[in-house]
Structure 1
Amino acid sequence: MTETVRAQRLPDRVRTLLDDLDSVSGAAIGEAAALLLESVASDGIVHVAGAGHSLAMVCETFYRAGGLAAVRPIWHPGVFPLDDALRSTRVERESGVGRGVVEAAAPTPPDVAVVFSTSGRNPYPVEVAEACAARGVPVIAVTSARASREAAARTPTSLADHAAIVLDTRVPPGDALHPAGAPRTAAVSTILAAYTWSRVLAELDDLASARGMRLPRWTSANVPGGDEENAALLARYRGRIPELTGGRDTSQ
Structure 2
Amino acid sequence: MTDSTPQTAQADFAAEVTGRLGRLQDHVAGGGLDEAIDLLTTCVRSNGVIQAFGTGHSEGFSMEVAGRAGGLIPTRRITLREVVIVGGRDPEELFGAELERDPGVVEELLSHTEIQPQDVFVIASNSGVNSSIVGMALALKERGHSVIAVTSLEHTMAVEPKHESGKRLSEIADVVIDNLAPFGDATLELPHGIKVGAVSSLTAAFIAQALTLGVVSRMLEADEVPPVFLSANIPGGDEHNQTLKDRYGSRIRSF
**Shorter-chain TM band:** 0.7 to 0.9
Partner of 2:243: 232
Letter in 2 for 1:222: N
Question: How is 1:44-83 mapped onto 2 (pairs within 5 angstroms)?
Answer: 44-77=48-81
State whether structure 2 residue 178 is matched by structure 1 residue 203: no
2:137 partner SS: helix
Partner of 1:160: 170
Partner of 1:139: 147
Aligned equivalents of 1:204, 1:88: Cα separation in 2: 36
Higher relative contact order (CA 8 A, sep 6+): 2
CA 1:212 to 1:88, structure 2 compared with 1: closer, same or farther past 3 Å? farther
Aligned equivalents of 2:150, 2:103: Cα separation in 1: 21
Aligned equivalents of 1:218, 1:52: Cα separation in 2: 25
Cα contact 2:27–2:33 (8 A) shared by 1: no
State whether structure 2 residue 112 is matched by structure 1 residue 104: yes
**How many positions carry a matched residue from both structures?**
239
State whether structure 2 residue 224 is matched by structure 1 residue 213: yes
Letter in 1 for 2:22: D
Partner of 1:90: 98
CA 1:111 to 1:173, structure 2 compared with 1: closer, same or farther past 3 Å? same
Partner of 2:88: none
CA displacement at 1:22 relative to structure 2: 3.6
User: Which shifted more, 25-34 or 231-240?
Assistant: 25-34
Post-superposition Cα deviations, 1:140-172, rounded to whole Å, max 9, x if no partner, equal 101111010123421200111121111111110
Partner of 2:40: 36
State whether structure 2 residue 137 is matched by structure 1 residue 129: yes
Letter in 1 for 2:209: S
Post-superposition Cα deviations, 1:68-125, rounded to whole Å, max 9, x if no partner, equal 1111122221799xx8687441111112212332243253321100001011000011
Partner of 2:180: 170
User: Which shifted more, 8-17 or 156-165?
Assistant: 8-17
CA 1:118 to 1:79, structure 2 compared with 1: closer, same or farther past 3 Å? farther
Partner of 1:27: 31
Identity of aligned residues (%): 32
User: Which shifted more, 91-100 or 35-44?
Assistant: 91-100
Partner of 1:250: none
Cα contact 1:45–1:110 (8 A) shared by 2: yes
State whether structure 2 residue 187 is matched by structure 1 residue 187: no
- Of 128, 148, 171, the residue aligned with 2:156 is 148
Aligned equivalents of 2:104, 2:61: Cα separation in 1: 22
Aligned equivalents of 2:139, 2:210: Cα separation in 1: 27
State TM-score, norm by structure 2.
0.84
CA 1:219 to 1:96, structure 2 compared with 1: closer, same or farther past 3 Å? same
CA 1:71 to 1:37, structure 2 compared with 1: closer, same or farther past 3 Å? same
Partner of 2:17: 14
Aligned equivalents of 2:194, 2:228: Cα separation in 1: 39
Consecutive unaligned residues in structure 1, runs of 5 or more: 247-252
CA displacement at 1:64 relative to structure 2: 0.1
Aligned equivalents of 1:56, 1:171: Cα separation in 2: 15
Letter in 1 for 2:62: V
Letter in 2 for 1:159: L
- What's the RMSD between the two structures over aligned residues? 2.6
